[in-house]
């Protein structure tokens, strides 16, 4: 019997996937070898890994001896995780030059043109170089904290709890991903290594302050809140990677030598968007000046509404059952709490004072939402409506009449205030997510200016609604709630 061998043919989609992975691997391997062959980078990192953990340990022992004079040995032991984070974070900041030079460094060295001419897609090029730039900072950071923990374990200075070790590795890994993703975005949009290094401070400073917060959480053992912060960092990592992929353009990297700040052109384009709306769209009616921004922000508004409903359901369902208590006791406690709240208010309890307070809160949260790429305003309705759901569930558990009074205390002005706040936050979410949208025939500058003009129009719509809601909240809502309580409860 004759045995004949024949080549097994793979499906077309599988062959394409293999070719895609092979091209990405070639880019990744090339960049990683270039990094490891650079002795001017590897030698300082190796020296830093050998010296800094020992310096951190000597500092910890000096702090322990000093605090032992006052009987505060427990505080000195809780400070050791902070030094572990510092031991891993310092090599990470030093290695940040690697992702910063991923694209702009090769452009200055005249090695980017042959790479961009390779038969690989933009996504393959971005992922291959991004993974190569991520490996060395992450490994260096984790190796530094591992050396420090090994020294502590050998000297028996700190019991290595699994939760503490996992928290240290998770914090440093997520910081590495976020910092490298942000540095690659800066590298793709910069025209010189000098400019990229100057923008590097906008990555290091916020994450350094966040590291202090995470260290305090480790000090107090608040691991649940630490998990929430890590989830937020993961969301930012995904957003930054999405931004880098959306903004990456190999033709722009090759053609653009410098960028000028055309303030006059930006002002002219912004005024055109503010006056006429979308210059590429046709006005559908005479009210399109006001209806157009709402229509263009409809997707963001629907997303915020869905998140608000989700927060209310979570707050309602996760509220624990309360033991039955007399209604008079609950009302007396609520009355005393309201008196304390009114006494501590930083604004007069009038319609105008409440309007100014709400407007200031909306503007501050919108500012945070813009700088957080829309993530802050996405979490805001979840927390706000979750609190409302928790309070209403608590009121209904005490007495159904008290629950209906809670609805009357929220619904009259909430029917106007929530849509007004939702309009402003929808414009903020759209403004933050504009950087994450895929490539578009219209330039990124024009899309940002149109989103900013629409946000100002939505704010103009929301201001009179907030004023009306403040008047209702002061003059109508308390009357309805108290009238209901007086008629139903003894």
Kindly provide the residue ranges of all beta strands, DSSP E only, lying in 21-130, ordered along the sequence.
Answer: none
Q: For residue 49, what are its two tokens?
A: 């890994």
193, pLDDT greater than 70: yes
What is the structure's pLDDT at 1? 38
**Residues written for the chain:** 490
* pLDDT recorded at residue 84: 79
* C-alpha count within 13 angstroms, C-beta hemisphere, residue 242: 14
pLDDT confidence of residue 86: 81
Burial of 112-147, coded b for 16+ CB within 10 Å and e otherwise, reads beebbeeebeeebbbbbbbbbbbbbbbebbbbbbbb
With beta carbons less than 8 A apart as the criterion, state whether 269 and 445 touch: yes
**What's the pLDDT tens digit per position in 240-265?**
888 788 777 766 666 655 556 667 77
**Distance (Å, rounded) from C-alpha 145 to C-alpha 52?**
10
Q: What is the pLDDT of residues 432-446, one digit of tens each?
A: 878 766 656 667 777
What's residue 423's pLDDT?
A: 92
In the block, residue with structure tokens 């309705």? 381
For range 182-201, the mean pLDDT: 78
**Encoded tokens for 213:** 């917060």
- Give the residue carrying structure tokens 């308390």: 478
> What is the average pLDDT score of the chain?
78
Q: Which of 49-58, 339-348, 462-471 has the lowest mean pLDDT?
A: 339-348
Q: What percent of the chain has pLDDT over 90?
A: 8
Q: Are 99 and 133 in contact (CB under 8 A)?
A: yes
**Residue 261 half-sphere exposure toward CB, CA atoms < 13 A:** 1
- Distance, CA of 228 to CA of 249 (rounded, Å): 34
pLDDT for the residue 8: 42
- pLDDT (tens digit per residue) in 209-223: 788 878 777 777 777
Q: How many angstroms separate the Cα of 299 from the Cα of each of 20, 271, 356?
A: 33, 24, 28
Q: Output the pLDDT for position 334.
A: 59
Q: What is the DSSP letter of 372?
A: T
Confidence of residue 20 (pLDDT cuts 50, 70, 90): confident
Contact 458, 379 (CB under 8 A): no
To the nearest 10 degrees (0 to 180), the angle between helices 298-317 and 288-296 is: 50
Q: What is the pLDDT of residues 95-149, one digit of tens each?
A: 888 888 777 777 777 777 777 777 777 788 888 888 888 888 888 888 888 888 8
pTM value? 0.69
Block residue for tokens 């998140």:
307
Q: Which helix (H) or strand (E) holds 272?
A: helix 263-276
Determine the pLDDT at residue 9.
46
> Which tops the pLDDT comparison, 297 or 284?
297
CA end-to-end span of the chain: 100
Question: Higher pLDDT residue, 7 or 182?
Answer: 182
Higher pLDDT, 355 or 40: 355
Q: Residue holding tokens 């909240």?
A: 473
């Amino acid at each position: 019997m004759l045995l004949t061998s024949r080549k097994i043919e793979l499906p077309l989609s599988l062959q394409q996937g293999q070719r895609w992975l092979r091209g990405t691997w070639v880019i990744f391997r090339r960049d990683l070898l270039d990094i490891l062959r650079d002795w001017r980078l590897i030698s300082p990192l190796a020296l830093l890994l050998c010296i800094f953990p020992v310096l951190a340990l000597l500092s910890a022992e000096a702090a322990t001896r000093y605090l032992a004079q006052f009987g505060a040995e427990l505080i000195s032991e809780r400070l050791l995780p902070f030094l572990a984070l510092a031991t891993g974070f310092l090599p990470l900041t030093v290695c940040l030059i690697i992702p910063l030079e991923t694209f702009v460094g090769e452009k200055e060295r005249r090695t980017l043109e042959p790479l961009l001419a390779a038969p690989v897609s933009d996504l393959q090029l971005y992922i291959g170089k991004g993974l190569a730039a991520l490996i060395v900072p992450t490994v260096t950071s984790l190796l530094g904290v591992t050396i420090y923990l090994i020294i502590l374990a050998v000297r028996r200075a700190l019991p290595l709890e699994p939760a503490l070790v996992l928290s240290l590795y998770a914090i440093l890994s997520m910081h590495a991903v976020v910092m490298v993703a942000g540095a690659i975005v800066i590298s793709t949009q910069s025209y010189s290594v000098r400019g990229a290094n100057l923008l590097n401070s906008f990555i290091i400073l916020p994450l350094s302050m966040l590291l202090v917060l995470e260290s305090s959480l480790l000090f107090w053992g608040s691991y649940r809140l630490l998990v929430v912060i890590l989830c937020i960092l993961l969301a930012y990592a995904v957003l930054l990677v999405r931004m880098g992929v959306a903004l990456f353009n190999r033709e722009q990297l090759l053609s653009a030598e410098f960028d000028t700040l055309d303030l006059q052109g930006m002002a002219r384009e912004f005024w055109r968007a503010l006056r006429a709306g979308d210059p590429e769209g046709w006005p559908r009616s005479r009210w399109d000046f006001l209806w157009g921004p709402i229509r263009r922000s409809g997707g963001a508004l629907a997303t915020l509404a869905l998140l608000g409903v989700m927060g209310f359901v979570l707050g309602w369902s996760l509220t624990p059952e309360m033991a039955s208590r007399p209604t008079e006791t609950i009302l007396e406690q609520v009355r005393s709490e309201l008196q304390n709240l009114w006494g501590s208010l930083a604004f007069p309890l009038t319609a105008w004072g409440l309007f100014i307070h709400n407007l200031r809160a909306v503007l501050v949260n919108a500012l945070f939402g813009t700088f957080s790429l829309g993530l802050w305003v996405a979490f805001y309705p979840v927390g706000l409506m979750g609190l409302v759901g928790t309070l209403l569930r608590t009121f209904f558990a005490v007495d159904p009449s008290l629950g209906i009074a809670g609805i009357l205390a929220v619904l009259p002005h909430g029917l106007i205030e929530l849509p007004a706040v939702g309009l402003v936050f929808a414009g903020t979410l759209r403004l933050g997510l504009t950087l994450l949208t895929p490539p578009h025939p219209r330039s990124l500058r024009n899309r940002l200016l149109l989103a900013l003009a629409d946000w100002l129009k939505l704010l103009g719509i929301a201001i009179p609604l907030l004023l009306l809601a403040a008047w209702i909240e002061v003059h109508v809502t308390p009357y309805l709630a108290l009238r209901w309580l007086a008629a139903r409860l003894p």
